[in-house]
């Protein structure tokens, strides 16, 4: 930021506020779990790699297991995580997520 430039300072402040709002919105919508964006749309190799890393980090499974789970769910991260943690199939994982309005934390939280 340039000293004395109020335009640049206000732009930076606006960006920070917008980032906070969008982050809070993503959390409320259930797209974030434990500081990770779990609602990833896998549309290229880079995002597929990211999805595997997220699954591995949340569940503790190997990269190979994460890739297999991702394949079973048609590249959906949240059902893959539910499958790994709860030991259910893809259909049951999707049902549980639907029952919890897509909130991964609610599905994984012990009852």
CA distance 31 to 10: 29
The answer on 44 and 2 residing in a single domain is no
109 or 82: which leads in pLDDT: 82
Domain count, the chain: 2
CA distance 106 to 45: 29
The answer on 46 and 100 residing in a single domain is yes
Query: Is the pLDDT assigned to residue 6 strictly greater than 80?
Result: no
Query: Is the pLDDT assigned to residue 83 strictly greater than 90?
Result: yes
Task: Dump pLDDT digits (tens) for 21-52.
Answer: 988 888 888 788 888 889 999 999 999 999 99
- Give me the helix-helix angle, 77-86 and 90-99, nearest 10°: 110
CATH (domain of 100)? 1.10.8.1080
The answer on 102 and 68 residing in a single domain is yes
Task: Dump pLDDT digits (tens) for 84-98.
Answer: 999 999 999 999 999
Helix (H) or strand (E) holding 25: helix 6-28
The answer on 42 and 5 residing in a single domain is no
Domain hosting residue 20, numbered range? 1-30
The answer on 72 and 38 residing in a single domain is yes
């Amino acid at each position: 930021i340039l000293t004395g430039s109020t335009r640049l300072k206000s732009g930076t402040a606006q960006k920070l506020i917008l980032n906070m709002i969008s982050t809070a919105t993503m959390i409320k919508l259930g797209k974030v779990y434990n500081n990770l964006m779990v609602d990833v749309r896998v549309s290229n190799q880079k995002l597929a790699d990211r999805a595997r890393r997220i699954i591995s980090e949340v569940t503790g499974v190997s990269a190979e297991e994460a890739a297999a789970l991702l394949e079973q769910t048609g590249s959906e991260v949240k059902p893959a995580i539910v499958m790994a943690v709860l030991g259910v199939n893809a259909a049951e994982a999707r049902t549980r997520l639907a029952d919890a309005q897509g909130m991964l934390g609610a599905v994984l939280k012990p009852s």
